[in-house]
């Protein structure tokens, strides 16, 4: 029995003879990494379409500030400091701790939705990237 026939026979027994390697892959369109890997980048996207990415390998420290209505996350990379401002950012901070987010989108403040209790849904409304001192 040749190898290709055995592969098709096994797929037929599993109930999906048309299944290919591409359909077996997990959906990578979400904003999180699904499998461990070596190169992980964080891409920041502004409302005007501007994009900027940094590698998680150079993330030195992160800080969450929950004071006031708006929250702030400071991410200290070796060459840049990133500030994310928005609402309900505690869950995002926990995901950043595990290097899970691939893409963070900033939205205009007017599009943030308020729930019945008056609190706003999780949203990043401002992203600031600054070059650290001593970097060109």
Q: Report pLDDT digits (tens) over 77-91.
A: 999 999 999 999 999
More confident of the two residues 6 and 121: 121
Task: Kindly state the helix (H) or strand (E) to which residue 103 belongs, with its residue range.
Answer: strand 103-105
| Nearest CA-CA partner of 73 in 51, 104, 116, 117 | 104
CA distance 82 to 129: 5
Answer yes or no: are the C-beta atoms of 76 and 62 closer than 8 Å: yes
Query: Which pLDDT belongs to residue 111?
Result: 87
Domain locations in the chain?
32-131
What are 14-33's pLDDT values in tens digits?
A: 765 555 554 445 455 666 66
């Amino acid at each position: 029995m040749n190898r290709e026939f055995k592969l098709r026979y096994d797929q037929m027994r599993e109930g999906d003879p048309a299944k290919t390697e591409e359909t077996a892959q997990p959906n990578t369109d979400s904003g999180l990494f699904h499998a461990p890997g070596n190169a992980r980048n964080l891409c920041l996207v502004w409302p005007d379409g501007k994009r900027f990415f940094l590698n998680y390998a150079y993330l030195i420290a992160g800080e969450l500030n929950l004071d006031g209505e708006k929250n702030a996350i400071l991410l200290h990379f070796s060459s840049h400091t990133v500030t994310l401002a928005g609402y309900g950012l505690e869950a995002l901070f926990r995901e950043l701790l595990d290097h899970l987010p691939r893409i963070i989108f900033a939205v205009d403040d007017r599009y943030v939705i308020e729930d019945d209790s008056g609190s706003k849904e999780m949203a990043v409304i401002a992203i600031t990237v600054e070059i650290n001192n001593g970097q060109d």
